[in-house]
Amino acid sequence: MALRARARVNLAAIERNVVRLRDGLVPGATLCAVVKADASGHGSVHAARAALDGGATSLAVATAGEAAELRAAEIGAPLLVMGALSDEELPIALAAGAELTAWTEQFVLKVGAAAAEPVRIHVKFDTGLGRLGTRSLTEALAVADSVIAAGPTLQLVGAMTHFATADGDPEFMAAQLAAFAPFVEAMRRRAPAIVVHAANSAATVRSPATHFDMVRCGIAIYGCDPMNENPDHYGLEPALELTSYVAALKLAEPGQSAGYGRRFVADRSTWVATLPIGYADGIRRALSDNCDVLVAGRRYPVSGTVSMDNITIDVGPDPPADVRLGAAATIVGRDGDQRQTIEDLANRIGTIAHEVLCGISARVPRSYHRDGTPAP
């Protein structure tokens, strides 16, 4: 029986994307796979294992809970929590044996007081993104010194920053690199074996100068273009496909409508197919009259308003025989010679692939395979 909606994830594609990205790194650099936000909707545990199988040497998440989930799945790879941690979250991150990101001396003191085992610390210097991290080089180095002063309880292992415009403005990225340089130099004096990292997916594919000792790749390991255009440009394979099926076919005569608000009103006799997938599943309402669906190797327009649980498509006055009840309907992925990517959907509504992927809700079952062979 067809599922009303399903996301199928090709773990082999994730593995190959990691290999492709690693092969493009400067000598000696390693790849940290960013699996935050449930691996951008792909499933954090499965994606983490696939990335490690592809040669990633470490993982990164945003929250303590995400770290705990990976450890509960018995994933033992080095694991960095990049986000802020409240007093309530800190013990969870420590219990997961996660490496932590610091940018204030106060936080370093809290970690030192709470730690039962040595904790590995990365110091974050804000070179222009303006979110987490300190803008003050003096303060950033004081944070590093406080880690060193804590003795064996804390270990200074990382120096990091994050780019604001790696996917768009190379001049500002260059300015951030220039600002990062004195921090890196001073940190290497303090800890010669420190791991320096700055590059996200966009910087990784665009600028070898950003690779340093490690890159942090998220969206690219899932086969998406960090510049939100076409993953083929970088030899990346989209890992996720999103499908539904034709649950109803109804003839609409001229003047008859489909969907809330009567956005679609037939101007001729035409058949309307209803697919049981909607904005509660991740099909953004902004895609109303603004998206295609692939059925039996052909493209059909979404016609009418995307509702919580359904969308409708206009399949024409004389639909082919294979556009029938139960026919597979592809929102993201390939069908015959046709393909629709996450980037296609994102660009339709003026957003980025990350947001569309993260919007695929938990109501949509995920299934996993390796090039068509079911994976556990």
Closest to 332 measured CA to CA, from 345, 323, 322: 345
Catalytically annotated residue among 234, 245, 250, 260: 260
The residue written with tokens 């951030």 in the block is 176
Hey, which residues does 340 pair with through a beta bridge?
Answer: 333
Q: What angle do CA 118, 213, 99 make, to 5 degrees?
A: 25
Asked if 260 is an active-site residue, the reply is yes
Helix, strand, coil tally for the chain in percent (to 5) = 35, 25, 40
d(CA 197, CA 131): 17
Asked if 36 is an active-site residue, the reply is yes
Catalytically annotated residue among 36, 124, 245, 279: 36
**Per the structure block, which two tokens stand in for 210?**
């950003």
Do residues 305 and 263 make contact, with C-beta atoms less than 8 angstroms apart? yes
DSSP 248: E
Do residues 320 and 364 make contact, with C-beta atoms less than 8 angstroms apart? no
d(CA 21, CA 56): 10
DSSP 228: S
**Per the structure block, which two tokens stand in for 297?**
């190797």
- Exposed/middle/buried for 72, CB within 10 Å: 0-12, 13-18, 19+? exposed
Q: Which residues have a catalytic role annotated?
A: 36, 260
